[in-house]
Structure 1
Amino acid sequence: MLSILVPIYNYNVYPMVLELQKQCIKRGIVFEILCQDDASQSSLNAFNENVNALSNCSFVSIKEKLAHRENRNSLAEQAKFDYLLFIDGDSIIIHDNFIKKYIDNLHDFDVVYGGRLHPEKCPSDDQKLRWKYGRFIEDKTAENRKKKTYSSVLFNNTIIKKECFNQVKFDAHLKKYGHDDTQVSYQLSLLQARVNHIENAVEHGDIDINVVYIKKTKESLENLIALYQSKKIDVVFVKLLRFYDFLRKTKSTFIIAKIHFVLERALVRNLTGNNPNLLLFNWFRIGYLCSIKQEN
């Protein structure tokens, strides 16, 4: 019935898999849990090897890096069952009825998204930017997510019918970090897939330090531009892209890029400090987006 797919990179996934297995057995469902490390060569894989001792569970560390989106595609290809639960390896299961709640809400839907939460307290000042953005921007109730049914779907904690996933998949042409979910969610909107949002969140366990998140933010914006240029996504689907498209049409991107060049160091100092400002982070994202070279 259910294939639980866990892409991993440099993280101890064993505690989460143990909890998921326990809940599946308690629910009495047919299941498998497939875990795949993306060539991290991490010492934590010594713990992950213990997954192979659990019934209906497997762990493998591949030798050549696939990148997160291709790791997900690879896991989906290996899956035996009709429903795929994608759950990131750095997730923490915080509800003892997590599996039951998903199973109870599958009827009449192609996709069910449970959401994600960040801890109430930031683990350290070095993680403040990612934590703040996650907790105050990304973390949303099911009621709020339903207002933007498709664009609110993230694949950190989502069940999708395998036949539906096979029609969308993650875009292997994107090589950098970010906006994997945006591309797939847009494809789901074109299919008019039946999507449900429920309260069944996992907690984000491995929060990026500030400098790493800045780097990932840049890469994700480069991916967003690549999707925009290749017309693989409609500008109306992403708020940031709508604003960028407006700036481009009004020939304002050059000015914004110049201002960003002057302010970038000061912005980065704030964003990598112990009290990053999310308004400045928005300006950083817009400025960097306008700075990316475009094909005419």
Structure 2
Amino acid sequence: MLSILIPVYNYNVYPLVLELQKQCIDCGIAFEILCQDDASQSSLNAFNENINALSNCSFLSLKKNLAHRENRNSLAEQAKFDHLLFIDGDSIVIHDNFIKTHIDNLHDFDVVYGGRLHPEKCPSDNQKLRWKYGRFIEDKSAENRKKKPYQSLLFNNTLIKKDCFNKVKFDKDRKKYGHDDTQLSYQLSLLKSKINHIENPVEHGDIDTNLIYLKKTKEALENLISLYEEAKIDIEFVRLIQLYHFLKRTKLSLPISKLFPLFENLLLKNLKGKNPSLFIFNVFRVGFICK
């Protein structure tokens, strides 16, 4: 019936697994929960080892790092059931009927996405950039996600048929952070896979600091540009790529790339501060891809 796949890196996922196991048992379904730490060598794995004592659950700490895309692929290869539920290790289940809701909505669809939420209050000032972008840009209701079903798909809290996933998989040749969801969702759009967006979110538990998120943002933008330059994604699929393509075509990208270094530190000062602006974040992203 259901294989729940949890990629882990330096995080205690035991509470998450315990809640998911309880809900699966309450639903009376055949299930397995597979957790795989990507060679983090974290002290938190001492807690994660307790997962192996839970019925239908397993935890494995890899000796060699695979990177997050291949870690997900590896989990899918190990899964024995026809439906795969991908949940990031830092997720928090906030509804008692989380598993039941997914199961009730999987019929006649290849993919079911439940959504993700960020906490109402930011945990600290130095996490505010990631929190703001998540809460005000990424967190969308099912109704809004259905307007652009493929572009609104994030591969956390995503239930997908195994035979569908095997047709796309994550691009194991890319090692940098970012836009693996975008690339895989684009592949699903080419296959015209049937996507169902439902209101069944998990909460994002481990929110990056401003500095870490800026580093990840740069990597993600580099990945996005390489996807564009290698023609592995359609220009119309991503708004930022549409803008970048327009700036290149109108030869505006060159002056922006020359101006960006003059203002970069000023932009970063705001983005690293206690009250980062999402408008300035967008300006930074456009300047960075042009540079």
Report if TM-score (shorter chain) is over 0.5.
yes
Deviation of residue 52 (structure 1)? 0.5
Residue 79 of structure 1 corresponds to 79
Deviation of residue 13 (structure 1)? 0.3
Give the paired residue count: 291
Following superposition of structure 1 onto structure 2, how do residues 125-144 of structure 1 map, counting pairs within 5 Å? 125-144=125-144
Cα deviation per residue 1:79-103 (whole Å; 9 max; x = unaligned)? 0000000000000000000000000
Cα deviation per residue 1:135-175 (whole Å; 9 max; x = unaligned)? 00000000000000101111011000000000000011211
Following superposition of structure 1 onto structure 2, how do residues 32-43 of structure 1 map, counting pairs within 5 Å? 32-43=32-43
Cα deviation per residue 1:198-256 (whole Å; 9 max; x = unaligned)? 00000000000000000000000000011111111001000010000000111111111
Which piece of structure 1 moves more, 96-105 or 222-231? Answer: 222-231
Q: Tell me which amino acid in the other structure corresponds to 1:44.
A: L
- For 1:235 and 1:262, the matched residues in 2 are separated by 29
Please say if 1:183 is aligned against 2:166.
no
Cα deviation per residue 1:108-142 (whole Å; 9 max; x = unaligned)? 00000000000000000010000000000000000
Q: Tell me which amino acid in the other structure corresponds to 1:283.
A: V
Please say if 1:95 is aligned against 2:95.
yes
Deviation of residue 67 (structure 1)? 1.0
Residue 5 of structure 1 corresponds to 5
- For 1:72 and 1:260, the matched residues in 2 are separated by 36
Which piece of structure 1 moves more, 215-224 or 169-178? Answer: 169-178
SS at match of 1:279: helix
Residue 153 of structure 1 corresponds to 153
Residue 294 of structure 1 corresponds to none
Q: List 4+ stretches of structure 1 deviating above 6 A.
A: none
Cα deviation per residue 1:34-73 (whole Å; 9 max; x = unaligned)? 0001111111111111110100000011011111111100
Please list every run of 5 or more consecutive structure 1 residues that lacks an aligned counterpart in the other structure. 292-296
Which piece of structure 1 moves more, 251-260 or 92-101? Answer: 251-260
RMSD: 0.5
- For 1:59 and 1:219, the matched residues in 2 are separated by 29
Identity %: 75
- For 2:105 and 2:115, the matched residues in 1 are separated by 14
SS at match of 1:246: helix
Which piece of structure 1 moves more, 84-93 or 260-269? Answer: 260-269
Q: Tell me which amino acid in the other structure corresponds to 2:176.
A: K
Please list every run of 5 or more consecutive structure 2 residues that lacks an aligned counterpart in the other structure. none
Residue 22 of structure 2 corresponds to 22
- For 1:259 and 1:125, the matched residues in 2 are separated by 29
Residue 117 of structure 1 corresponds to 117
Deviation of residue 259 (structure 1)? 1.7
SS at match of 2:160: strand
SS at match of 1:147: coil
Q: Tell me which amino acid in the other structure corresponds to 1:38.
A: D
Which piece of structure 1 moves more, 253-262 or 265-274? Answer: 253-262
SS at match of 1:52: helix
Following superposition of structure 1 onto structure 2, how do residues 245-256 of structure 1 map, counting pairs within 5 Å? 245-256=245-256
SS at match of 2:147: helix
Please say if 1:56 is aligned against 2:48.
no
- For 2:175 and 2:44, the matched residues in 1 are separated by 25
Deviation of residue 273 (structure 1)? 0.3
- For 1:91 and 1:198, the matched residues in 2 are separated by 17
SS at match of 1:74: helix
Please say if 1:221 is aligned against 2:202.
no
Residue 165 of structure 2 corresponds to 165
- For 2:159 and 2:56, the matched residues in 1 are separated by 18
Following superposition of structure 1 onto structure 2, how do residues 226-265 of structure 1 map, counting pairs within 5 Å? 226-265=226-265
SS at match of 2:151: coil
Residue 288 of structure 1 corresponds to 288
Q: Tell me which amino acid in the other structure corresponds to 2:198.
A: I
SS at match of 2:176: coil
SS at match of 1:130: helix
- For 1:262 and 1:66, the matched residues in 2 are separated by 38
